[in-house]
Each structure stands twice: as structure tokens, then as C-alpha cells.
Structure 1
Amino acid sequence: MRKLVMSAFVSLDGVMQAPGGPDEDRDGGFPYGGWQFPFADEELGEIVSAVYARTGAFLLGRGTYDIFAPYWSQFTDRSDPIATSLNTLPKYVVSTTLTDPAWASTTVIRENVPEAVRALKEEDGGDILIQGSSRLLPTLLQHDLVDEFLVGIYPVVLGQGKRLFPEGTPARTLRLTDSRRTSSGALFNTYAPAGPVTVGEFGVDDPPREASERA
């Protein structure tokens, strides 16, 4: 069974909008497009290339598709692993309005999204990568379809913009499985689903673990 992997770049306050450039996504008058650029380093390329090397297909929301298609379809250099993957591997776009996608190897999912994604996961091949697509993510979480989260967290606070986990996202607990710090100060954390959120309470007779360990 294939894994569905969600990958995103976010600010410290969880904003994922337009990391790549000023004109990538100006929705809401977002003024900080391209905020990731000052933190680009060699490790970023290594991390992204490794993710794409195990990817066999892409799952995208309509907004992300509209950003990716005109940009990446221009890159035909086969020595670029990211461009080659995006231009040649199957792409599945969740949309009720996209009728005639021009980007090669694109299939539109118009209805029964959870069932369609489950069917894709049952096929043979590499991971299915969902990049960005924050409006699609809550549906996938609601149906427990995401198997891995790779989140690049950058040392910048933006204060506005689209967030990776907006209000209304289904509550879930995640388990950290890997973490890597880049030279620019970004943290790339990998998480696996760990079930529903559980809560508790510290009582007078139950001090925090660190305090009890020092005693």
C-alpha cells in the first residue's frame, strides 16, 4: 500500500502561503510572498530531492495546481529531479471546476474524494505526495488518509496568511519520527499519525515529570 505524504513549508506561526515568490499567491493581499527565499540552503535541496525521489504521484488542490502548473511546466531540464518528477509523474487534482487540464499526466478528481484517494493508495508505486493544498488537508485528516507529515518550520513570524492547519482542522495527535535542522535555522520535522487528542490534568500530587525526576 502506498503512503500519502503531506509536505509543507511554514512560518513559526504556521503560515504556509506563498513561500516561493511575491506573485505565487496574493490572496487576501498577502504581502510576504517569497518569505522562504532568504533561508534557502543546500540542505533544503537535499531534503526536497529525497522526498521527490520516493514519490510516485502527486495529489493537489486546485489552488496549488494553478500555482504549480504554469511554473514547473516551463522546466524541461531532465537533470532537475524536482521538475522531472512534477512534469512526468501522475498528478491528481481535486477540483469541481477544472475540466481540461493542460499539464501532462493530470487527472481530475471531481467527487467522492476520500474513496478516490483510498483507491490511489491501494495501487502499486511510490508515495503519493500532497504539497501545500491546505483546503484539501482537512478532508484527508477527517478520513485518516495522511500517513506522514513533513513540515519545514522556518524562523520567521508572518502574522497573517493561509495556515497549514486552519481553524476547523480535525484534531489529531502526531508522533515525531525524524528531525533535521538546516544551516539557515529551519527545522524539518517528520510526523506520523498517533490517534485522537487525549487530555489530562496536573494535580497537586502529580508534579510535572521534569520536577519529579529532579527530586
Structure 2
Amino acid sequence: MSESRTDDTSGTLVVGTFLTLDGVMQAPGGPDEDRDSGFEHGGWTVNYWDERMGERMDDQFAGADALLLGRKTYEIFAAHWPHVDAKGDPVATKLNEMPKYVASRTLDSVEWNNSTLLSGDVAEAVEDLRNERGDVIMVQGSQNLIQTLLAHDLVDEFWLWIFPVVLGVGKRLFGDGTVPAALELTDAETSSTGVQMLRFERAGGVEYGSFALDNVAE
């Protein structure tokens, strides 16, 4: 656990994402969302949504103070949400108004309302941002960015929605380089369609043991 995580004045960095049962997070919302590596299963979440999931999604965004995005997810969101009628849609209202921070090595500017392009080393910039803001920063999508955050042990909570589907291929949440960590399940609910909506908080390091019997005769 990093020293900054023990500082009560630092903020909370949350990864919120949709996952298949085998850990894939690629292109949950549509066929053309992300076809990297020839991915052909985009849109795998669409037919599982029910009313309660919509309510939980509203609650999650209401609990976030800022949004952190990688380039690809930023471009997808920026092309969609400003054009959604925000009347009666709290998610659209929140996304369009809340502070947004974008980690990218290729973008020169970000035009979506209240967006800021992070500069310099991504891990350092995100840790500085978390400590400076002192509130809840949520990451959505942004698989490549998440790998950097995991490798530098910067994630405080995971808000994971696990869908009852297996794809076998695609970008996964936890890749090589993830720092081992223990987690505490702090909230769990299952939708009418079998989607598990789970919330985990960091709980220190991994504790190891053994089921081997002591004093077994050779």
C-alpha cells in the first residue's frame, strides 16, 4: 500500500466498470465501441439492463465528484453525452457538468465542457490529482489507463458490475503488472437479470497461508 493511501486528506480513486464473468471489459456498450484485436462481441451488456440497474447507475454517478478517462473512452463519451437530452437524465447532466480529467499522450486539447488534459507522467499526475482534490474520482472504461493505475497501486475502490456472460477473448480488467492486494466487499446486489453489482474497498496486502497438515508422518 502506498504511503499516500494512508493520508486521510487524500481523495478516493474508484474504478467503475462492467465485466463479463471471465473478466472482459472491452466494448460493453456497442459493436463498434472498441474493435481492437478484431473484437467481435461489442454490446454484450445491452440486453441485461433493468430498472434497478439504472437507479444504481444514477446513484454511482451522484457519488462521484470527478471523472478520469483515457483517450479512447474520452472520445467515445465526448461524441455521445453532449448530444443527449439531459432533461430527466441525471447521468447525462452529471457527466456533462462534472470535472473531467483526460490522460493522453496524443491529444493536444479537450473540448468537452469542464475537461482538463493531464500532462507529464500519468501515474504522478493522477496521484497528485487525487491528493489535491481530496474527493471521489471515478474512472470509467479506459482499460489502458486502468492498467497503469493498477501497476502503481493507485486504485482505492472497485465498483464492478459482473454480467452473466463469458466471451473468452477481449481486454480484461486485471492484466499483468497488477499489484497484489486484498479487497473487502462492502456492498452487493443482484439485478433481476443476474448482474452482480459489487463494491470493493482496498483492505491492505494479501495474507498468505497453507492448508497443508502440520506434523504429517513422512
Q: How does 1:36-185 map to 2 (within 5 A)?
A: 36-124=45-133, 126-185=135-194
| CA RMSD in angstroms, aligned pairs only | 1.8
CA distance in 1 between counterparts of 2:134 and 2:88 reads: 22
Deviations 1:53-74 (A, max 9, x none): 1111100111211221111121
Q: Which residue of 2 aligns with 1:8?
A: 17
Q: Which residue of 1 aligns with 2:27?
A: 18
SS for the counterpart of 1:151 is strand
CA distance in 1 between counterparts of 2:43 and 2:91 reads: 19
CA distance in 2 between counterparts of 1:194 and 1:85 reads: 30
Amino acid at match of 2:66: A
Gaps of 5+ in 1: 207-215
Gaps of 5+ in 2: 1-9
| Count of residue correspondences | 206
Query: With structure 2 as the length reference, what TM-score do the two structures score?
Result: 0.87
Q: Is the contact made by 1:134 and 1:165 (CA closer than 8 Å) also made in structure 2?
A: no
Query: With structure 1 as the length reference, what TM-score do the two structures score?
Result: 0.89
Report the alpha carbon displacement of residue 104 of structure 1 after superposing the two structures with TM.
Answer: 1.6
- The 3 A distance-change label for structure 1 pair 157 and 131 is same
Deviations 1:90-125 (A, max 9, x none): 110101111122212111112132332233223457
Deviations 1:136-195 (A, max 9, x none): 123223333222110000100011111111223222221111111111001011101122
Q: Which residue of 2 aligns with 1:204?
A: 213
CA distance in 2 between counterparts of 1:202 and 1:126 reads: 41
Q: Is the contact made by 1:57 and 1:129 (CA closer than 8 Å) also made in structure 2?
A: yes
